[in-house]
Amino acid sequence: MGRVRSDPDPLQDYCVSPPHSPHQHIFLNGDLCKDPTKVTVSDFTTSALSKPGSTRANPFRTNVTLTTTTNLPGLNTMGLTMGRIDFGASGVVPPHVHPRASEVTVCLDGVLLVGFVDTSGRVFTQELHPGETFVFPKGLIHFLYNIDTVSSALAVSGLTSQNPGTQFVSLVSLASELHIPQDVLKRLYHINDQEGYVASIRKNLGG
């Protein structure tokens, strides 16, 4: 069985990502390095997480803003990603996995219900209040939910990869660009599709 490895250790003090080009023809496991003599302090700082994200742009009422090598070039090869998670009332980050990263989340405002499912089917859930922290193991299905039906909530997460990857269970199953055959989904979810349930769910999820 193949292993999912952590990001490789850097071979120098830093490898600041140069400005991204739409005409790039060389693809690496990471980004190229900027000339070290042209690196400045601005390469190691960003305000990307300082602004609230809109929670009205999707049906889940959440918005995730991530640091990337575009808004934080000094992140390249460091094996880290930070994320700001804004929740509207009853907002949810649906069950999903990060195949290349563990995640640690700090609740900053509001009350969150968070949890994950291990490979034996055990579910671990916890309410998080401001200042409390929860860790999600690498590659396991997990979720975050704002239990307040009126007020918003805010959390910050750190992930142990420059490119953790994200796969939402419902979207992968029912709203992927190339659809999983309906016969497979009907068998998987025990759906009698005479009423067009699969098509309706796909439409609701944007598939």
Determine the angle formed by the axes of helices 182-189 and 197-205, rounding to 10 degrees.
Answer: 100
Q: Give the tokens for residue 82.
A: 């930070």
Neighbours of 81 (CB within 10 A): 23
Does 98 belong to an annotated binding site? yes
Rounded Cα–Cα distance for residues 41 and 49 (Å): 18
Tell me whether residue 103 is annotated as binding: yes
Q: Which residues of 158-183 are buried (b: 16+ CB within 10 A; e: fewer)?
A: bbbbbbbebebeebebbbeeeeeeee
Task: Mark the binding-site residues, compressed into ranges.
Answer: 96, 98, 103, 142
Task: Mark the binding-site residues for oxalate, compressed into ranges.
Answer: 98, 103
Task: Mark the binding-site residues for Mn(2+), compressed into ranges.
Answer: 96, 98, 103, 142
